[in-house]
A and B are shown apart, each in its own frame.
Chain A
């Protein structure tokens, strides 16, 4: 029953994201209401769905791969790497087409993940993993700022700010497709890795004795995460903590199975990001917050709580 409930939850969040707030739709004539739905709200809801699901699924896979509940695309520097790749492509190289930016972001994510594997090793201790991720994030962040400072356009900083904070506002359906197609491919690869990820619970050697090629699994997960998260970052900027939180809740539903958590984590990630976007839009602040700020505001204390009080117990 649980998968059905999760799907229903995501469907409800998606519908709410399309229909709320109701006032502008109800007050407009049919054509305008339809345009508002399809051109403004649909891309936004679709992006929240795709990006949230991608963060959840790749978070679950990366946590399973590193055998560590604190490995997630943001804490390991993958999203920062993707942001750097996108900024360099768009502002330094001047290639601002959606495909070029997406490719740049995927390349950045790939480099960040490869660096993480090289620095922390395949099955890193928590401290090593977090330190390596911190170093990569810091380096990518500094290089992103440098790239913007050196950019020919004097408005680069201002221009990139909203995107860097993570935002789903004013994206077109075409842009949503640029995130969704790679994300779908990536999700398929992660979905096929479930059994291998579960068997990694017993250690690399046992997984290998079952016939799972652990080296190929590692490559597949790194490539899929870079592709899916990179493409989403290229369109929406870096959104943190969903990739950390969603798999942790998902594993509580799957009895702790790291591979089995991939699907539920995608659903939970999608529901969380749809809810966060709704909260950002409905908050009575007079203006819209970048969604990345909200996920960080809620996610960072969760992370602190996880580290300080629960140790790794709840996380696992």
Chain B
């Protein structure tokens, strides 16, 4: 069987050094790292917006027409804006291949409890509701690979948890999710695997609990966990604050 994802020398000029990522079977993978470490760039490069060789289920998404690509991968950027005020159902439909019955969009809305908003214009929703509509768009086509940039941003704690659970369910049904996230505890408690980025490079890849206690994580974030809480490393130890 083909690996779910094979990215070789995925790169974005000036933002991401050539990076390899391989996923053999469906997993929930969290991507953590300080601001500017290259998380967004890695997601973009895998989505086909950068350089390098990417294969999803053995297929090169760049060679595929939009309708097939939508079943292979979905990319949710960190910005939660829509340029035109479409109805929520129409926004979700944009993520589906042309001619897909409206029921599929409605089902995607329902997974995030948005049935009541189907006809509402997206500019008339709250920030959190709009975020959920845009996430529903990314989940709608049930693609093999979900690339989600900060999906929990703008969501209240309840919806953060519900969303992570939805992503978990998607992974349990055979999808793979690569999720950039800032909340280290949320990442550790839900992820099968953690990718840690620092200085435009992937610096650690593996078991979440091990990475959370690793020296790379301390060095990347300048924080450490002590007694179940995160605290800033002492100034002397914080190499990130020195030039």
- Residues of A whose CB lies within 8 Å of any CB of B are 64, 67, 195, 198-203, 205-206, 208-212, 251, 255-258, 313, 316
Q: Is there contact, CB below 8 Å, between A202 and B90?
A: no
Task: Collect the chain B residues with CB atoms within 8 Å of residue A258's CB.
Answer: 83-84
Task: Collect the chain A residues with CB atoms within 8 Å of residue B90's CB.
Answer: 255-257
Task: Collect the chain A residues with CB atoms within 8 Å of residue B64's CB.
Answer: 211
Q: Is there contact, CB below 8 Å, between B82 and A201?
A: yes
Chain B contacts with A in 23-81, Cβ cutoff 8 A: 44, 47-49, 61-62, 64-66, 69-70, 73-77, 79, 81
Given A256-B85, A257-B90, A316-B84, A205 and B69 contact (CB-CB distance below 8 Å): no
Given A67-B83, A201-B94, A256 and B121 contact (CB-CB distance below 8 Å): yes
Task: Collect the chain B residues with CB atoms within 8 Å of residue A255's CB.
Answer: 86-87, 90
Interface centre among B73, B82, B84, B87 (most CB of A within 10 A): B84
- Residues of B whose CB lies within 8 Å of any CB of A are 44, 47-49, 61-62, 64-66, 69-70, 73-77, 79, 81-87, 90-91, 94, 98, 121, 123, 134, 137, 147
Closest 9 CB pairs of A and B: A67-B83, A209-B75, A209-B47, A211-B66, A210-B66, A211-B69, A256-B86, A201-B84, A256-B84
For residue A160, give the distance in angstroms from its CB to the closest CB of chain B.
39
For residue B122, give the distance in angstroms from its CB to the closest CB of chain A.
9
For residue B90, give the distance in angstroms from its CB to the closest CB of chain A.
6
Report 30 cross-chain contacts, Cβ distance below 8 Å, ordered by A residue. A67-B84, A195-B98, A201-B82, A201-B83, A201-B84, A201-B86, A201-B91, A202-B94, A203-B81, A205-B44, A205-B49, A205-B77, A206-B77, A208-B49, A209-B47, A209-B74, A210-B66, A210-B69, A211-B48, A211-B61, A211-B65, A211-B66, A212-B66, A255-B87, A255-B90, A256-B84, A256-B121, A258-B83, A316-B85, A316-B123
Task: Collect the chain A residues with CB atoms within 8 Å of residue B121's CB.
Answer: 256
Q: Is there contact, CB below 8 Å, between B48 and A209?
A: yes
Task: Collect the chain A residues with CB atoms within 8 Å of residue B147's CB.
Answer: 209
Given A256-B86, A256-B121, A202 and B137 contact (CB-CB distance below 8 Å): yes
Task: Identify whether the interface residues of B are mostly helix, strand, loop, or mixed.
Answer: mixed
- Complex Cα spacing A199 to B74, Å: 13
Q: Is there contact, CB below 8 Å, between B83 and A203?
A: yes
Interface centre among A211, A212, A257 (most CB of B within 10 A): A211
- Complex Cα spacing A293 to B53, Å: 57
Q: Is there contact, CB below 8 Å, between A209 and B73?
A: yes
Task: Collect the chain A residues with CB atoms within 8 Å of residue B65's CB.
Answer: 211
For residue A267, give the distance in angstroms from its CB to the closest CB of chain B.
20
Given A209-B73, A210-B66, A256-B121, A203 and B79 contact (CB-CB distance below 8 Å): yes
Residue of A at shortest CB range from B123?
Answer: A316
Given A199-B94, A256-B90, A257-B90, A208 and B48 contact (CB-CB distance below 8 Å): yes
For residue A140, give the distance in angstroms from its CB to the closest CB of chain B.
28
Residue of A at shortest CB range from B82?
Answer: A201
Residue of B at shortest CB range from A196?
Answer: B66
- Complex Cα spacing A211 to B65, Å: 6
Task: Collect the chain B residues with CB atoms within 8 Å of residue A199's CB.
Answer: 66, 94
Task: Collect the chain B residues with CB atoms within 8 Å of residue A64's CB.
Answer: 84
Interface centre among B48, B82, B91, B137 (most CB of A within 10 A): B82
Q: Is there contact, CB below 8 Å, between B62 and A211?
A: yes
Residue of A at shortest CB range from B87?
Answer: A255
- Complex Cα spacing A206 to B64, Å: 15
For residue A61, give the distance in angstroms from its CB to the closest CB of chain B.
13
Task: Collect the chain A residues with CB atoms within 8 Å of residue B98's CB.
Answer: 195
Q: Is there contact, CB below 8 Å, between B84 and A203?
A: no
- Complex Cα spacing A119 to B71, Å: 38
Task: Collect the chain B residues with CB atoms within 8 Å of residue A195's CB.
Answer: 66, 98
Task: Collect the chain B residues with CB atoms within 8 Å of residue A201's CB.
Answer: 82-84, 86, 91, 94
- Complex Cα spacing A209 to B70, Å: 9
For residue B15, give the distance in angstroms from its CB to the closest CB of chain A.
13
- Complex Cα spacing A255 to B84, Å: 10
Task: Collect the chain B residues with CB atoms within 8 Å of residue A67's CB.
Answer: 83-84
Q: Is there contact, CB below 8 Å, between A206 and B83?
A: no
Task: Collect the chain A residues with CB atoms within 8 Å of residue B83's CB.
Answer: 67, 200-203, 258
